[in-house]
Structure 1
Amino acid sequence: MKILKLLSLAFLPGMLMSQEIKFSVLTGPGISWIASNDNQISSSGFKISYKAHVQAEYWFNDRYAATGGIGLSLGQGGHLEFLKGGDLWKEAELSDTKYKNLPDNASLGYRMNYIDIPFGFKLRTNEFGKFRFYVHAPEFCISLRTRARGTIEAAPLPDTEGEDIRKMVSFLVCFTVLDWVVKCVFPQTFR
């Protein structure tokens, strides 16, 4: 058994070098929002967010690949409107105690930054004319919160920004994504 493990380790670098590994940079804007299943709380807005990831694709053959990477998600969040007031952010470190007991119809904004660790599988089809289809599924992402700030809009109180809400937002978030892409494949003379 030890000899088999030793031989596997000896041949592993050669097997990895014979496979195709591609690196890519993924970046762009996005839209994020939050919602609640409580009928006293409604979603009242979204945030424009931004993502930047570095991703590696390890191709097993010409159709299947494993993917993994690391990246940043900046400005995730949204707005929630609370029909019933009260001490809505109990764990938050608020700048002033007057924001502890909020009136009815208070609007609270959430803005979070995360370090993302995505991993998953990518599948691609044969060429159909000049097109090739990619499916990136399933993709799992583990996100670690780095920053969480909030805004409060609750008349007659003055609006406030930059409230520290880290203790209220989970440090670790996991989710899945389904992504598909159509790629146009040009003849060799155009490359």
Structure 2
Amino acid sequence: MLMEQTLTQPELGILYVEMSAPLGFQQCLNHGQLHDEDALELHRIIADQKPDTALISLGLCGIILANHLLAKGLDDKDLNVLATELKYFSIDVVERYGRAWINAREHDKHDRDIEEELLLENAENLNAFGSIVQEIHESCDGPLALASALGQVLEYQAYAQANIAESYVEMLKNQGHIRKDFAGDPIPAPHNLQPQDRY
């Protein structure tokens, strides 16, 4: 279910800057091309993040990509539907995971139950995001080749981070650190993260 929009403009600005990848992603769209070194840098930034933080980065990039596609007034109805789905799915994960990140980082405020729930949902959300951008990547060509290439970067990182998230939760289960259906890993590690429009 789509969460209520709670992030303010300044908070969104913090997320864009701290996640870093969305800024580089937007620059690629602005320049109209994705150089190999730019793609590698996007991969590096997202790969270096924890899965929950990576999901925020991917969500912000997903919003940018969806807005880019929707602004083109797509004739392809199926692609238009995919872009709309990507936009609202991305807004949802940014609102939920971004709110937890902001609360922890900016306000030193933790809601253990919410953070644990987000942790357990992380792999599922990453896989769902990967599935959407995979369809977009495979549907875009010709004048949308850049969107296809950027979608492929997001797809690869989403699936890779999903595997990491799944392995982490499994490790916690094996170590007996699961409280009922929960596992504990606060979002984020506020002071140790690399520097990384309303929607």
- TM-score tier by shorter-chain length is under 0.3
In proportion to residue count, which structure has more strand? 1
- Normalization by structure 1: what TM-score? 0.21
- Normalization by structure 2: what TM-score? 0.20
In proportion to residue count, which structure has more helix? 2
